[in-house]
Amino acid sequence: MADIISGKSRFNGDRNAPVKKVISINREMAASTEDNEDVLDEATVKRKIRRHKSRVAVVVTIIIVVILAAVYIVSRVIDNYDYSSYEITNSVNREDIESSKYIAFADGYVRYSNDGISYYKNSGKVIWNQTYSMQNPKVSICGNSIAVADINGSSAYSFNTSGQVGKADTSMPILQIEVSDSGK
Q: What is the pLDDT along the chain (184 residues), one digit of tens a residue?
A: 444 555 555 555 556 665 555 555 555 555 555 555 556 788 888 999 999 999 999 999 999 999 999 999 999 998 888 888 889 887 777 777 778 999 999 899 999 999 999 999 988 899 999 999 999 999 999 999 999 999 999 999 999 999 999 999 999 999 999 999 877 6
- Number of domains, the chain: 2
Within 10 Å of residue 121's Cβ, how many Cβ atoms? 14
Domain boundary among 45, 78, 111: 78
Q: Which amino acid is at 104?
A: A
Indicate whether 119 belongs to any domain: yes
Co-location of 63 and 123 in the same domain: no
Indicate whether 18 belongs to any domain: yes
Each residue's pLDDT tens digit, 113-157 = 999 999 999 888 999 999 999 999 999 999 999 999 999 999 999
Indicate whether 91 belongs to any domain: no
Distance CA 179, CA 143 (A): 9
Classified as helix, coil or strand, 140 is strand
DSSP element (H, E) containing 64: helix 42-79
Classified as helix, coil or strand, 50 is helix
Domain that holds residue 37: 5-78
